[in-house]
Amino acid sequence: MIEVKNLKKEYRDDSVVTTALDGVSFTIKEGEFVAIMGPSGSGKSTLMHILGFLDRPSAGIYKFEGQGIDELNDDELAYIRNKRMGFVFQFFNLLPRTKVLDNVKLPLIYSQTSEEEKIEKTKQAIEAVELSQRINHYPNQLSGGEQQRVAIARAIVNNASVIFADEPTGNLDSRSGQKVMEILQNLNDKGHTIILVTHEQYTSEMAKRIIRLKDGQVLSDEIVSHRRVARDGLLK
């Protein structure tokens, strides 16, 4: 589903060139659970942005479900983001004065769906993250963990095939973090592809595969031998 070949990303600031990605290659199939790890400056955020169609590479090939990013214009990228991708961020990024229901519904208003279908899908997504009883609450009435679960519901509301999670537990206590990882593992069991960026070793071991980056290049790409299951206990 995701095919990356020799991906490069350079930033130019007047005459200073910063290389964020320096030739990254890998493939990710449907249903995988991949963690991307690396120290800061390794290029993992940049890679995540490009994979999520939020940025374009300077060179190299990126094919998502057979379509190359270079062949698609900005509106088409937005369309694919809307229909096939879901995003979970470290700082939740929920709309502040908006109910949980409308937060989760957000991606749907940019797609052509009937109002009944929107409500139906929204409710299902909220159920999947076990927050049905909070459907009319506002973000400031929720705990950090609950907010992140709302974000996950938003990510899956349009039945996205892949979920990009950027340090999803970075802003949570260990208890909430465990709950969030449990949900992500459940979703993966149901068939969603999960791509996770993290700097926490124990979080990355909840994935099935770890790609390590250093200085914009792939350092290692390995299957996780002893995978942690979040349901079984606290992260640490």
Partner 1 sequence: MRFKDSIKISFTALKANKSRTFLTMLGIIIGVGAVIIMMSLGKGAQGLILGQIQSIGANSIYIEPGSFDPKGGGSFTTSAIEEMTIKTLKIKDLESIRKDPLTDIAYPMVYGSGRIIYRNEDEKITFIGITSEAYEMDDWHAINGRDISEDDIRSTAKVTTLGHKIAEDLFGEEDPIGKTIRIKKTNLKVIGVMEERGMEMFQNFDEYVYIPITTAQKLLLGIDHLNAIAVRAESESAINPLIENIRLALRENHNIYNPEGDLSKDDFKVMSQVEAADMVKQVTGILTAFLSSIAAIALIVGGIGIMNIMLVSVTERTREIGLRKAVGARNKDILKQFLIESVALTLFGGLIGFILGLMFSLAAAIVLSRVLNTNWSFIMPFGAVVLAFGVATIIGLVFGIYPARKASKLNPIEALRHE
As a whole number of angstroms, the distance between CA 120 and CA 174 comes to: 32
Question: Per rule CB under 8 A, is residue 81 in the interface with partner 1?
Answer: yes
CA of residue 68 relative to chain centroid, distance: 20
Phi (first) and psi of residue 166, to 5 degrees: -105, 100
Question: Per rule CB under 8 A, is residue 138 in the interface with partner 1?
Answer: no
Candidate residues 79, 130, 171, 208; the one interacting with partner 1 per rule CB under 8 A? 79
As a whole number of angstroms, the distance between CA 212 and CA 180 comes to: 22
Question: Per rule CB under 8 A, is residue 38 in the interface with partner 1?
Answer: no
Helix (H, G, I), strand (E, B) or coil at 1: coil
Q: Which range, of 7-15, 50-58, 139-147, 196-204, touches partner 1 by CB under 8 A?
A: 50-58
Question: Per rule CB under 8 A, is residue 222 in the interface with partner 1?
Answer: no
Query: Taking the complex as a whole, how short is the minimal distance between the CB of residue 127 and partner 1, in angstroms?
Result: 20
Query: Taking the complex as a whole, how short is the minimal distance between the CB of residue 7 and partner 1, in angstroms?
Result: 16
Structure token pair of residue 72: 């698609």
- Cα torsion 167, 13, 70, 42 to 10°: value is -30
Q: Which range, of 59-67, 83-91, 127-135, 179-187, touches partner 1 by CB under 8 A?
A: 83-91
Candidate residues 6, 19, 82, 171; the one interacting with partner 1 per rule CB under 8 A? 82
Question: Per rule CB under 8 A, is residue 75 in the interface with partner 1?
Answer: yes
Output the CA–CA distances (angstroms, integers) from residue 97 to 100, 139, 156, 220, in the order listed: 10, 7, 21, 43
Residues that bind partner 1 (CB under 8 A): 49, 52, 54-55, 74-75, 78-79, 81-83, 87, 89, 93, 95, 97-98, 106-107, 109-111, 154
